[in-house]
Amino acid sequence: MPQKRAHFVPAAPLAEVQEAGCKVVHLKGHTVALFHHQGEVYAVDNRCPHMGFPLDRGTLDDGILTCHWHHARFDLETGGTFDQFADDARTFPVEVRDGEVWVDVALHEDVREHQRQRLQVGLERNIRLVIAKAVLVLLENGKGEGDAVEPFRIGLDFGARYRRAGWGQGLTILTCMMNLVPYLDPADRPRALYHGLAAVASESAGQPPRFPIRPLPNGDTAGIPTLKRWFRQFIAVRDAEGAERCIISAIRAGADSRQMADMMFSAITDYRYVATGHPADFTNKAFEALDVTGWEMAEQVLPSLVRDYADGARMEESNSWRHPVDLVAILDEAFERLRALDVALTSGDALWPGRDDLIPILHGDEPQAIADALLDALAEGCSAVELASIVSYAAALRIARFHTSNEFPDWDTALHTFTFANAIEQGLRRAPSVDLLRGVLDAAMSVYLDRFLNIPPARLPQPNGREEAPDAILKELRPLLDRQQQVDAAGGRVAHYLYDGGDPDPLLATLGHLLLREDRDFHTIQTVEAAFRQFRTQPDGEAGVYSLVAAGRYLAAHAPTVRSQGQTYSIAARLHRGEKIFEEG
């Protein structure tokens, strides 16, 4: 008992509290409101846990304290809130000794565990401010991406469970944000997780939960090759339930990440450019998410992808892929030839020398010539992974050359091809196969179909001979994206920063910051994240530069926004620092 009492400090004479009804005192860094109510004295942190308004300015009635700013209500004795947007108010133990009120100001709860619980509340009720405040505490030390794993895992678990339609934009944004964390300044890392988690909450709001399908009884007896074959058959007839049971049975049977990636990507590439590439990108992001959290979440995550496989539109059914040129027929014939080739699936030490010659063909007007050139490249020793990298670069150039004379929604057409190509490439790096290689040819045909978006083509920025200070270029980027129609200027600034020898890391951190200050836009986030990946993996320096030019141009085209989501985060950050949000009277 003496050890516990050592935390008590004198606060105020009892008579003063009784006379005033409420008295504010400052105790060892805490501002505490003392309330005398129904013969008892209660001590409450005077900062409303919602947005910091002084609770002594509130109203106390029948044991319920109401904050006047947003009308959050609290049980005076326990601090428990009746309004989940507000959080529980902190209360302090009180003793009356010889006419003096004493208060125990020691912390008696695990703050991080409390914020884990609050993050769950924010996700369940789609409360952005609650999510932001929780993330700021959970990433408080800001040492690196490891600090972000815990809230990322919580969000992944929630999104996979509580949206019956399964994996969607929210979980993709969350994974993109987690992938961006290593590139960001430490101060921006909580903001990235906030954007991702809030996207998951928004997409799940009002949705029924997913009810998982159980694996087959003794499903391991079927064998993984059989389950893969059944899975593809079920997707062929658009039977999502049967396909999902194959997925969960294969995981229970011991299939590892590579085997599951092979099973799932093979089914996606059985059909042409399904749902403008979203299922391929979602699948890539799901496996990247599991790289972060560990394979133990595979049973929960991977089945959530299946519905889009079964329900997504297949370009075999699309007029644009059938007329005036039957691209599907060209691809079917190419796939027959592909099976006869001895394909090198993974890259060797030396780059394939025909890389530069292939780009103009991919950007040309002859789809048969494109298919032939891709097959010839494979026959000449270009690996599947390197070929995928070349097609990803060709897709990035469509964005880098996108002319603003196009209609604004046309940005998304080029974006879909780019993110699909990137997803196929990353899938091949994870689980290379001839089946998945078909997706590279699909991506090339989509690059071909996007050719009209480059008529006329925007000029690619070239070295101008002027030596500019890289830091000055970065400073120009921030105000540049405060104005509309700065697409070419933004792309030029990105290119010249790199041409003039700027360190890529500050540029990536700046682009990430500029992305995060805007309201969330799914396609912009996809573009920037895929471009960062391409910048790091493209073997050619020019290809890396133009991948980031594409990111800068796309971001500029979609900025500035209202930035309301950033306002919410800013409030949370100021509260986290102990600032006053309200204005003094």
pLDDT in tens, 128-158: 999 999 999 999 865 555 689 999 999 999 9
Predicted pLDDT at 12: 96
CB atoms within 10 A of CB 245: 22
Residues 537-546, mean pLDDT to the nearest whole number:
89
- Reading phi first (left if > 0) and then psi (alpha if -120 to 50, else beta), residue 38 is in left
Chain centroid offset of residue 422 CA: 16
CA 573 to chain CA centroid, nearest Å = 20
Does residue 167 register a pLDDT over 70?
yes
Confidence of residue 1 (pLDDT cuts 50, 70, 90): very low
Query: 308-329, pLDDT tens digit by residue?
Result: 999 999 999 999 999 999 999 9
Indicate the helix (H) or strand (E) that contains 25: strand 22-27
pLDDT average, residue stretch 261-288: 98
pTM for the model stands at 0.94
How many helical (H) and strand (E) elements, i.e. helices and strands, does the chain have?
Answer: 25, 10
Which one is predicted more confidently, 218 or 66? 66
Can you tell me the distance from the alpha carbon of 414 to that of 263, in angstroms, rounded to the nearest whole number? Answer: 28
pLDDT value of residue 131: 97
Across 114-119, average pLDDT = 96
Q: Which of 103-107, 248-252, 411-415 has the lowest mean pLDDT?
A: 103-107
| H or E segment to which residue 247 belongs | helix 240-252
Give the pLDDT mean for 260-286: 98
Tokens of 527: 């573009």
pLDDT, one tens digit per residue, over 239-259 is 999 999 999 999 999 999 999
| pLDDT surpasses 50 at 126 | yes
Residue 143's pLDDT is what? 54
- Local confidence band at 5 (pLDDT 50, 70, 90 cut-offs): low
- Confidence band of 541 (pLDDT split at 50, 70, 90): confident
Residues comprising the chain, all counted: 585
pLDDT at position 3, please?
A: 43
Q: Is the pLDDT of residue 584 over 70?
A: no
CB atoms within 10 A of CB 429: 17
337 and 375 Cβ atoms separated by less than 8 Å: yes
Percent of the chain surpassing pLDDT 90: 89
Neighbours of 465 (CB within 10 A): 6
C-beta separation of 473 from 500 below 8 A: yes
Higher pLDDT, residue 464 or 32: 32
Q: What's the pLDDT score for residue 219?
A: 65
Query: Does the pLDDT of residue 506 top 90, yes or no?
Result: yes
Tens-digit pLDDT profile for residues 335-392: 999 999 999 888 776 789 999 999 999 999 999 999 999 999 999 999 999 999 999 9
Quote the pLDDT of residue 144. 54
